Amino acid sequence: MDTLKALMVFMTTAENGSFSDAARKMGVSPAAVSQSIARLEQELEVRLFNRTTRQLTLTEDGRRFYAQCKGPVNNLDNAISQLKASRDEPAGHLRVSMPNSFGRRLILPLMGEFCALYPKIRVFFGLDDQFSDLIEDGYDAGIRFGMLPDSRMTARNLAHIPLYVVASPAYWDKYGRPSKPEDLSQHDCINYQYPTSGRLAKWEFLCDGERIPVDVTGTYTVNEVEAVAELARLGQGVAQLPGSEVIGMLRSGELEAVLLDYVSEERSIYLCFPNREHTAPRTRVFVDFVVERLGEHPDVLARWPL
């Protein structure tokens, strides 16, 4: 027997006082209501209603059972109503994973507008360069660099970001500016190490459509992008970084980009979310919002020199 359905029939009948009225409210036949009540009484081994040709009333056991069921059933009904309402108005807890520096500089400043548009959404941000498994760690969405070969995920492209070779003007004045990528072998280059895999990021350039890899060495290896940029700003070496990370320091003159004829646009940014038959409205509106806002963001669109 479908106990939940039988309980709903019992509650509706008790509140309406007749099989026929309960049947009209539930959109079924009076016979179906009567049969459901009879099966429930058989299952519970207790009579719930006194039946006469003129009247239907709860027994003492029926009144007690109704009082015990009323709270839980109402709570369930409210939960179902709230879930249905959330399909129209996005609500609930949204968990988003994103790289530390990128998230702080480009996503967090957008959230005031987002939360004003969707005040019933509560957001948790996991800012981490470790690139955790979105599904296993319970995230609704995540921002990632590079395309993920994960068939469980849907990926929306946010931008293709150029990679610039940068250092402080003082560093270039002291050690000279390279005229071609191969000249970097003579410089103190700051390597970026991917936190998850431990691999070093490749230094690559484009020349007449051909990709040119360059081996570099240096004093520092760092596993956090913002720290790489800070070391370069302090004159501690040369870095190759996404334009979205350094455009502000290029504008201010704290960093100077070289080899502009060889700029690679290898760094793609994606907003990923799990493949699901029913994507939660809170996830859907967040993805659409971020794709639209970053698609017009000056720090994402900018190409140096401006």
Name all domains of the chain by residue range, CATH numbers in brackets.
3-85 (1.10.10.10), 92-159+268-301 (3.40.190.10), 161-267 (3.40.190.290)
Buried/exposed code over 21-32 (b: 16+ C-beta within 10 A; e: otherwise): bbbeebeeeeee
Reported as a pLDDT band with limits 50, 70 and 90, residue 299 is: confident
Lowest mean pLDDT among 102-111, 127-136, 254-263: 127-136
Measured CA to CA, the distance from residue 270 to residue 275 in angstroms comes to 15
Measured CA to CA, the distance from residue 159 to residue 154 in angstroms comes to 16
SS3 state at 203: strand
Measured CA to CA, the distance from residue 239 to residue 218 in angstroms comes to 10
What pLDDT, on the 0 to 100 scale, is given for residue 1?
47
CA distances from 253 to 147, 168, 236 (A): 32, 8, 16
pLDDT in tens, 16-52: 888 888 888 888 998 999 999 999 989 888 999 988 8
Query: Tokens 């480009």 sit at which residue?
Result: 106
Integer-rounded Cα radius of gyration of the chain: 31
CB 163 within 8 A of CB 263: yes
What pLDDT, on the 0 to 100 scale, is given for residue 84?
62
The two tokens of residue 205 are 């350039």
Amino acid letter for position 40: L
Mean pLDDT, the chain, rounded, equals 88
SS3 state at 38: helix
SS3 state at 58: strand
What pLDDT, on the 0 to 100 scale, is given for residue 195?
83
CB 175 within 8 A of CB 235: no
State the pTM of this model: 0.66
SS3 state at 200: strand
Lowest mean pLDDT among 64-68, 165-169, 189-193: 64-68
Higher pLDDT pick, 33 / 75: 33
SS3 state at 194: coil
pLDDT in tens, 117-132: 999 999 999 998 777 7
